[in-house]
Chains A and B, each alone.
Chain A
Amino acid sequence: GAVVSQHPSRVICKSGTSVKIECRSLDFQATTMFWYRQFPKQSLMLMATSNEGSKATYEQGVEKDKFLINHASLTLSTLTVTSAHPEDSSFYICSARDQGVGYTFGSGTRLTVV
């Protein structure tokens, strides 16, 4: 089945620094990937749609200058949280879809900003 690899799984960073999260589709090509954020005991909230070779599409209320998305190849999308603050601490998950089946999620990245 489709596999999506996400790294790192956990990261702790200092306030004001930037963190990059990688999402790779291992056995299929993904022209579109999705980035979600999940706060404790809450649902997955879509942040943005990452499109290979073009600009990402951000959901309303998501700062595109803060959450930089790059989808440089058919198997890799990255999310960079710039100038991170404690309120950015969350569980970030990417997902991709292989040929019309359901979405495969990465294992998630737990970001803690101190």
Chain B
Amino acid sequence: QQPVQSPQAVILREGEDAVINCSSSKALYSVHWYRQKHGEAPVFLMILLKGGEQKGHEKISASFNEKKQQSSLYLTASQLSYSGTYFCGTERAGGYQKVTFGIGTKLQVIP
């Protein structure tokens, strides 16, 4: 079952912050976050495993609330290079490594 992502699109000015949310109705083993630039393949950002952890990657971090089956991606002090479509991918317990992707959040950072 496809996770629900929000918002679907967001426009930021350089330096502003954004939060992208991802939720599932099923018990999750892990949540993945990827960024895809137009015409390119998705690039892995980070994975959060069951356990409610928070991880960081430069000025991009994420959290995973295992009880609520929700994850949020935090982009701080956004840069032009952050523009792209962000996908969360969820892996269910016993899902044989199969990841189901959300619809994506199109992020545009403008000068």
Which residues of A line the B interface, CB within 8 A?
6, 32, 34, 42-46, 49, 93, 97, 101-108
Contact = CB atoms under 8 A, between A and B. Distances in A.
Contacts, number: 51
B99 A108 contact: no
17 contacts: A6-B41, A34-B98, A43-B2, A43-B102, A46-B99, A49-B97, A49-B98, A97-B97, A101-B44, A101-B47, A102-B44, A103-B32, A103-B34, A103-B89, A104-B44, A105-B34, A108-B40
Contacts of A97: 97
B100 A46 contact: yes
The list of the 7 closest CB pairs from A to B, nearest first, reads A102-B44, A105-B41, A102-B47, A108-B41, A44-B101, A43-B103, A43-B101
